[in-house]
Structure 1
């Protein structure tokens, strides 16, 4: 197991090298200037679309704009916002949060492009059903000669969509907050029981298909964000005098990296902290990875740009709001300097220090909802990859493999799980970003047409 962990860690470091950083961030910046920041001017319109103002039951698709966003958010607003932020701060200090923000701002525009493409170039699966996602917009938009990219994305997605990190951190939280204090923790046996329970609950939901997943996400996501938001605001209110100092420190440490404890990148610690922030930001909001377009590609709309605008809200909610709240909670309580904990345990320590007796249980409730909703959504992504590769009939086999992976995630280490998912996220990002950059002119053309029609309707 130790050798396996080292091997996967090396794979992760190799995958997240300079070439990927260039294509993910450099490509994102190129897309931002290519469209001249135009989508950011229509955030109000995006919210109107999300609220259902432009919904049409006669449009093609399976789920509403709101369900598409909540399905995507149920995968991204999850353990990445609680555990991944804690990992970033534990290794990189406050400055890592700044580079997560940078990743999110660029990622908003990247998601606009990828979600627009997911509707613009929807394709049909083996049963003739309309589907969206990177593998389909590669095949439909670039042609069959680019199929190796679509296959690369789908094969990587089979592993990248596994819920092992979320399950691993949920198991750790249940152990630390619930089982250990009452003396019920029995090591591997406890982890196994938690894994089996989670696998059973997940099987009940995901075997019901996308409609059941989206309905569940529609109910869970708003409530889990609200509960978490109220808890964090309470903690920040109790430590209000510390907030301005640490908010400033996030900016100053981003360019000094005085608390950075990881490996150097491009010859220095500044490069190291930038890469750390980008990796954790990508893990949190998944912009450029290609998962969210699979959910947005199922939206009931005939206007690709509308879904792009809705998708753009994802990184703003996920990283700029939820991740920032988590980061400030960890920083103002001081646990990032006084505790050796990492991942979800560090966040739990912050909650318990700020709200003794109840804080960690409030966090546990949020973690349970975050993790389970993420597990539901990721099953949809993996199943779509399987269906693209081997036909719709094959996805039931992936579901069984997916459910088994829940037990594996519950009984293995954090480092192995996070490096495994990081590696395959990187491999998914390569075909997603390459195809998006090539097809960018089509999105720009569609956007100019749509925004001119919107402006004309307002004038008239």
Structure 2
């Protein structure tokens, strides 16, 4: 058993090692410059589109563009924003936060490209619902059914045995038990019923819940982080300077921090950043394909803001809270480190930890919902709509069993499969790069023409 565990750990280190990270960030760099720094120049336009309720009344799709973004964010904003940031800084020091930013800024271009393609190549299933994502642009754009199947299998694996179930279930049950004294059995039963109630209603039900819960939980968590930052505002400039300096110089060992090289800061920052915002992994395009929109470019712009919200805003808030309170130098790790930061930052041993627990519960619950939908769309691609109900029953069963499973091997397998998702998706993005560029040029040239006053 130990040999298998060691083998899996080695495979995981290889999958999430420099080759994949370079490919992920490299794809983002390519699209950033090929699209003329689109994520910087058009971010105000993208944010305006997110919060604009206007749209074409006859646009095809199942849910609004905002609801599609919230569904994607429900799966993206998760325990990685609380635990992942703490892990990155614990391993790589404050400089890891800078590399997280860099991965996110380039990742926005990748997210734009993959969600544009999702809408361009989406199809309608035999129940009249929109289906799309990497498996469809790999099959209908690239022309590779094999790559499409490989992606769908890996994504289904992540939904059922990875990010979508066990880690989230355990995070919810741990937080419920520690902060509220609720037994794991009762919490598991309530969670299973809630997941069943929401997911059996399909994309409309998931999007409706995500559209309300995601903005609420994000605002609650950001407010808590801002409170810590404001209460330590006198040290903010020094903290930002520490992040920038540590990104390019080795961080010395201090307190419980073991020290970190520049390479470790780069690797931990980029890996946890990509893991958190999922840019290039191919998950968000599945939600984007359901959006009611008449323009694949417009949906691409809306979708890329997900990476901005997830990493540039929420991960930054967590990172600054950890650095300002000095807990990154402590012996704490993961969720315990973030909890301690809030306890120190808010000068309260009850309110701080409570806010982290509530954030974890909300973040983890919506991640389960988002990944349930991703898995469902993969099942439709692989087996047709007749397999949706059996899939949902199995998924709900896995959520229920997650309370009683503590197999380290499962987490490692989940990490491996999550990384493997990116490979067929990135092949698709690179193969269809000219389509992304052409669609973008067409959209903005038509926008420029329509904004010019007519000449007499």
Q: Does 1:196 align with 2:189?
A: yes
Q: Conserved in 2, the CA contact under 8 Å of 1:254 and 1:270?
A: yes
Q: Which residue of 2 aligns with 1:292?
A: 284
Contact 2:282-2:422 within 8 A present in 1 as well: yes
CA drift of 1:53 comes to 5.3
2:171 is aligned to: 169
Give CA deviations for 1:357-408 in whole Å, capped at 9, x if unaligned: 2111122222222111111111000111111111111122222232233245
1:217 CA drift (Å): 0.6
Matched, 1:312 2:304: yes
Give the Cα–Cα distance (whole angstroms) in 2 for the partners of residues 97 and 153 of structure 1.
30
Match of 1:211 among 204, 212, 217: 204
The answer (yes or no) to whether the contact 1:68–1:299 under 8 Å persists in 2 is yes
Match of residue 62 from structure 1: 62
Whole-angstrom distance in 1 between the partners of 2:387 and 2:370: 18
| Equivalent in the alignment of 1:443 | 436
* Gaps in structure 2 of 5+ consecutive residues: none
Partners of 1:17 and 1:431 in 2: CA distance: 17
| Structure 2 partner of 1:30 | 30
- Measure the CA separation in 2 of the matches of 1:351 and 1:417: 30
Structure 1 match to 2:242: 249
2:337 equivalent in structure 1: 346
- 2-structure distance, mates of 1:156, 1:219: 29
Match of 1:187 in 2: none
Q: 1:20, 1:262 → 2: CA distance?
A: 27
Show structure 1 runs of 4+ deviating over 6 A.
Answer: 260-264
Contact 2:39 2:108 in 1 (8 A): no
CA distance in 2, matches of 1:429, 1:386: 18
Do the aligned residues in 2 keep the contact of 1:82 with 1:326 (CA within 8 Å)?
A: yes
Q: Secondary structure at the match of 2:432?
A: helix
Contact 2:32 / 2:39 at 8 angstroms: preserved in 1?
no
Structure-2 change in CA distance of 1:155 and 1:322 (3 Å): same
Matched, 1:452 2:445: yes
- How many residue pairs align between the two structures? 445
CA–CA separation in structure 2 for the residues paired with 1:214 and 1:133: 17
Pair 1:369-2:362 in alignment:
yes
Counterpart for residue 156 of structure 2: 158
Task: Write the deviation string for residues 55-85 of structure 1: whole angstroms up to 9, x where unpaired.
Answer: 1121111111111111111111221111111
Matches of 1:353 and 1:286, distance apart in 2 = 31
CA gap of 1:198–1:5, structure 2 versus 1, over 3 A, is: farther
Secondary structure of 2:60 counterpart: coil
SS of 2:196 mapped into structure 1: helix
* CA pair 106-298 structure 1, distance change in 2 beyond 3 A: same
Distance 1:257 1:166, change over 3 A: farther
Q: Please report how far the alpha carbon of residue 94 of structure 1 lies from its aligned counterpart in structure 2 after TM superposition.
A: 1.0
Query: What's the CA shift string for 1:263-295, capped at 9, x where partnerless?
Result: 99xxx9433332221211111100000110001
TM superposition shift of 1:411: 4.0
Please give the residue correspondences for 1:225-236 in structure 2 after superposition, counting only pairs within 5 Å: 225-236=218-229
Matches within 5 A, 1:52-131: 52=52, 54-125=54-125, 127=127, 129-131=129-131
Question: Within 1, Cα distance between the matches of 2:70 and 2:298?
Answer: 16
- Contact 1:51–1:66 (8 Å) recurs in 2: yes
Q: Distance in 2 between matches of 1:172 and 1:32?
A: 40
TM-score (norm 2): 0.91
Aligned equivalent of 1:393, options 379, 386, 410: 386
CA–CA distance in 1 between the matches of 2:79 and 2:372? Answer: 16
CA distance in 1, matches of 2:258, 2:442: 47
Larger mean CA deviation between 246-255 and 190-199 belongs to 190-199
Q: State the distance in 1 between where 2:290 and 2:234 align.
A: 46
* Counterpart contact for 1:168–1:417, Cα < 8 Å: no
| TM-score (norm: length of structure 1) | 0.90
CA distance in 2, matches of 1:28, 1:135: 20
**8 Å Cα contact 1:31-1:437 kept in structure 2:** no
Unmatched runs of 5 consecutive residues or more in structure 1:
185-189
